């Protein structure tokens, strides 16, 4: 049996699927990725994937599918590494897991609209997979674990002084400064006031959690940060928590998971 593939329809479909899955994954992880950057990436991947499909038409369907999946995974890793600035294995696995969940969710939604009727045999497994897998992924990659093991002595460098704090490695914090693409650390308000001087300029950056709408935090650039025995890390943005941390906590700083 022969199939007719329309290049324009295929391009729009690839772009749509990529955008929806990347968008859902980023929203679940509260990653405030610039929408224009996301659109541009999805446009590039749609072009690459369609050209690859055309160039591999001479292959059997089995090998074409294998190569197509491998290319998709490679593009996903490039997206994580260079677009979202995810620099550690745990962060990459976490976002890839959520993107897989987004693909399953999108697939189930499309099946709901297939032929105008609800296909329970296809959608029930999708719902079960999502309900069972999401909590496990949260527990594995976003769970609190042993809080004491996630505490680190931190040195923050500004233009004139160094500041010593205790930081908590928050695996759920993968916030990226949309203006500089730098990872964002979050300071308790009092700790931030101790660091800020009249010559440090602050500016607003957006952030959101799963249960809230997009909000704004004040942020400022720091010269660098040193976590434990690691080397000094430059190109980091410090944000000021809109509400004070709970009293009695040992830490006054939430570190970014991408700084591991």
Region 184-192 average pLDDT = 91
The CA distances from residue 43 to 36, 37, 74, 161, 230, in Å, are 10, 10, 16, 45, 38
Predicted local confidence at residue 90, as pLDDT: 64
Q: Is the pLDDT of residue 145 over 60?
A: no
- Is the CB of residue 72 less than 8 Å from the CB of residue 49? yes
Higher pLDDT, 143 or 51: 51
Q: Is the pLDDT of residue 242 over 50?
A: yes
Q: Is the pLDDT of residue 65 over 70?
A: yes
Question: Which of 44-48, 61-65, 108-112, 215-219 shows the lowest mean pLDDT across its residues?
Answer: 108-112
Higher pLDDT, 91 or 215: 215
Query: 144: which 2 tokens?
Result: 């609190």
Put the strands of the sheet holding 151-157 in their side by side order: 203-207, 215-222, 236-240, 184-187, 253-256, 162-170, 151-157, 224-227
Predicted local confidence at residue 185, as pLDDT: 93
C-alpha 237/C-alpha 254 separation (Å) is 12
pLDDT band for position 1 (cuts 50, 70, 90): very low
Predicted local confidence at residue 146, as pLDDT: 46
Output Rg (C-alpha) for the chain, integer angstroms. Answer: 22
Q: Is the pLDDT of residue 114 over 80?
A: no
Q: Is the pLDDT of residue 238 over 90?
A: yes
Q: Is the pLDDT of residue 15 over 70?
A: yes
Question: Which of 105-114, 168-177, 198-207 shows the lowest mean pLDDT across its residues?
Answer: 105-114
C-alpha 111/C-alpha 107 separation (Å) is 6
Q: Is the pLDDT of residue 12 over 90?
A: no
């Amino acid at each position: 049996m022969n199939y007719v593939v329309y290049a324009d329809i295929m391009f729009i479909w690839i772009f749509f699927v990529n955008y929806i899955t990347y968008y859902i994954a980023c929203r679940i992880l509260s990653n405030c990725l610039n929408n224009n950057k996301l659109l541009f990436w999805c446009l590039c991947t749609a072009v690459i994937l369609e050209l690859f499909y055309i160039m591999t038409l001479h292959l059997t369907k089995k090998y074409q599918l294998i190569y197509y999946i491998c290319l998709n995974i490679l593009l996903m890793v490039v997206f994580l590494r260079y677009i979202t600035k995810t620099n550690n294995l745990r962060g990459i696995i976490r976002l890839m897991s959520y993107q897989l969940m987004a693909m399953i969710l999108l697939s189930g939604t499309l099946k709901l609209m297939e032929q105008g009727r609800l296909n329970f045999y296809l959608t029930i497994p999708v719902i079960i997979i999502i309900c069972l897998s999401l909590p496990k992924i949260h527990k594995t990659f976003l769970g609190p674990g042993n809080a004491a093991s996630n505490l680190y002595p931190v040195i923050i460098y500004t233009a004139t002084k160094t500041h010593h704090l205790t930081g908590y490695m928050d695996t759920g914090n993968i916030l990226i400064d949309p203006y500089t693409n730098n990872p964002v650390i979050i300071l308790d308000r009092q700790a931030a006031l101790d660091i800020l001087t009249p010559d440090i300029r602050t500016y607003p950056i957006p952030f959101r959690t799963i249960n809230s709408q997009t909000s704004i935090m004040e942020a400022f650039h720091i010269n660098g940060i040193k976590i434990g025995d690691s080397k000094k890390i430059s190109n980091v943005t410090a944000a000021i928590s809109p509400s004070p941390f709970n009293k009695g906590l040992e830490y006054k700083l939430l570190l970014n998971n991408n700084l591991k």
